[in-house]
Amino acid sequence: MSTPEKATPSHFIRQIIQKDLSEGKNSGQVATRFPPEPNGYLHIGHAKSICLNFGLATEFDGTCNLRFDDTNPEKESEEYINAIKADVEWLGFEWNDDIRYASNYFSKIHEYAVQLIEQGQAYVESLSVDEIREYRGTLTEPGKDSPYRNRSVEENIDLFQRMKAGEFDEGTLVLRAKIDMSSGNINMRDPVIYRIRKVEHHQTGNEWCIYPMYDFTHCISDAIEGITHSVCTLEFEAHRPLYDWVLDSLGTPSHPQQIEFARLNLNYTITSKRKLKQLVDEGVVSGWDDPRMPTVAGLRRRGYSPGSIRNFCEMIGVTKSDGVVDMGMLEFSIRDDLDKSAPRAMCVLRPLKVVIENMEEGAKETLSMSAHPKDESMGSREIHFTREIYIDRDDFAEVPPPKYKRLIEGGEVRLRGCYVIKCQEIIKDADGNIIELRCTRDIDTLGKKPEGRKVKGVVHWVSAETCVDAEIRMYDRLFTAENPDSNKDGRTLLDVINPESLTVFHNCKAESGLVGAVVGKPYQFEREGYFVLDSDAHKSKNLVFNRTVTLRDSWTKIAPK
């Protein structure tokens, strides 16, 4: 019997689109877009938007554009553009036709601004930024008209042309839409739609010295591209009346429908590009792709798979109400994915030398171990057993705690996939530090239980002769506070940085097969977690692995209250 396909959970945006299609709206077409500002790297919240917009287009046989809303050249760069393109591709999505930029439409947007002036629906403002803010009013008090609000169309056209020609300094004049200074929605109180910025643009060079504001640009860009469903996060809900006002006033050929959904809020995480940039600029992390960062680049470098992120975004769903998602759900998604796909390997983080006394010098046995205990199709791997091996220092105790099930002097332990060994002697240096264990193996325990006794402990190990050196980077959550951005008791982000978010082990010993590891291919290091070769490993003489996630969720046991 065939397994039924997993049903795709419904949500309100799917229902809106299904209803539109059933009613024949937009000629039965679905066109979405993902419109990032290229002023930073994408984070896990953007991943949710990417999966939603591209996923809807795929589900309803439509299209999804990748468009950069590049209206603020001071904070934008080609580095961010290239990083965003790489992230979208890595997540497994293809955008419709060529990449688009809002700057592609600057000439048309300028024409629309002139149209508003000619219609008496926009004017050039001479108030300062502070004065504009003062005149705008508050959430409880209406604004008041600017003394320049009733300039003639001719004067406004003249001033706007001279703004475009570069006659005025930054901050001296802006263009405002003329709507309603008494509106209960502060976004409708004559918003600024153009400002002077004498900055070179990464796409248009020095062609322009005036740039449209995001709210004016975004809706026009959507209309030009024929977007049917303009899906955005909930903070833009109050901007929707302005979105509709601009398009209605201009009479654009199409009028997309803006739909808002709740953004992704993840505990122990921040998703503000400005604050993430602060962490980069102040050297708290090594860069935008630091594996502790919630950026898509950081998650990729840490070892998260595209499928795990897509599954996570589907699992948390799409709603209209804000909430906080537990980081454990994201970690569950990657564990679930890697448990199925990651081949097993052994790596000793804190090596302790063990000499097998009843094995001849130079002897080497080749053992076969499964690459994955639940997936025979992955085949097997060869492991070498030699007279000298390494076990983890934590797997031996001279004075064992209660219920200790690993190696002790005079005690036995099973080597993973190998023999049972017994510790006969402890070797110490002049300072009393344990530097070596002398053990014997039970030759009759390879692949079978010892007779007459029960050995409970199983430890991982590697051959001292054939192992390879490795550096292991153990990552944990970047913040100790569940809501690091709360400013509770006056604390800042830097006050809640987790001092144990990165622990580096330098002299690790890994099984020889890991020499063939490639960036992006996951491994489960038995008893330690899931790991991936670091993308910058080529800069080191040794292998460098990043821990993606632990084998089990241990954070809830140690999380600060």
In which order are the strands placed within the sheet that holds 31-34? Answer: 31-34, 63-68, 100-101
Question: Which whole-number Å values give the CA distances from 43 to 126, 266, 268, 294, in the listed order?
Answer: 38, 11, 14, 5
Q: Which residues contact 364 (CB under 8 A, 6 or more apart)?
A: 384, 385, 386, 463, 465, 466
Angle (CA) 38-54-68 rounded to 5° is 20
DSSP structure class, residue 313 = H
- The number of C-alpha atoms within 13 Å of 386 and in the hemisphere containing its C-beta is 15
CA distance 523 to 405: 26
CB 338 within 8 A of CB 532: no
| Helices and strands: H and E segment counts in the chain | 13, 25
CA distance 211 to 109: 10
Task: Return the SS3 of 370.
Answer: strand
Chain centroid to CA 202: how far? 25
Question: Which whole-number Å values give the CA distances from 155 to 107, 134, 216, in the listed order?
Answer: 21, 24, 22
Give the residue carrying structure tokens 């600057």.
106
Query: Could you tell me which residues are beta bridge partners of residue 417?
Result: none
Q: What are phi and psi of 548, to 5 degrees?
A: -75, -50
Q: Is 337 exposed, middle or buried (CB count within 10 Å of its CB: 0-12, 13-18, 19+)?
A: buried
What HEC string does 257-291 produce? EEEEECCCCECCCCCCHHHHHHHHHCCCCCCCCCC
CA distance 149 to 177: 10
What residues act catalytically?
A: 37, 263, 273
Handedness of CA 288, 292, 297, 302 (dihedral sign): positive
Q: Around Cβ 143, how many Cβ atoms within 10 Å?
A: 20
List, in sequence order, every beta strand (DSSP E) within 329-379. 344-345, 347-348, 351-356, 364-370
Q: How many residues does the chain have?
A: 561
Question: Which whole-number Å values give the CA distances from 352 to 14, 188, 460, 547, in the listed order?
Answer: 57, 69, 12, 21
DSSP codes, 172-236: T-EEEE---TT-SSGGGSS-EEEEE----BTTTBTS-SEEE-HHHHHHHHHHHHT-SEEEEEGGG
CA distance 398 to 409: 7
Nearest Cα to Cα of residue 475 among 532, 547, 553: 547
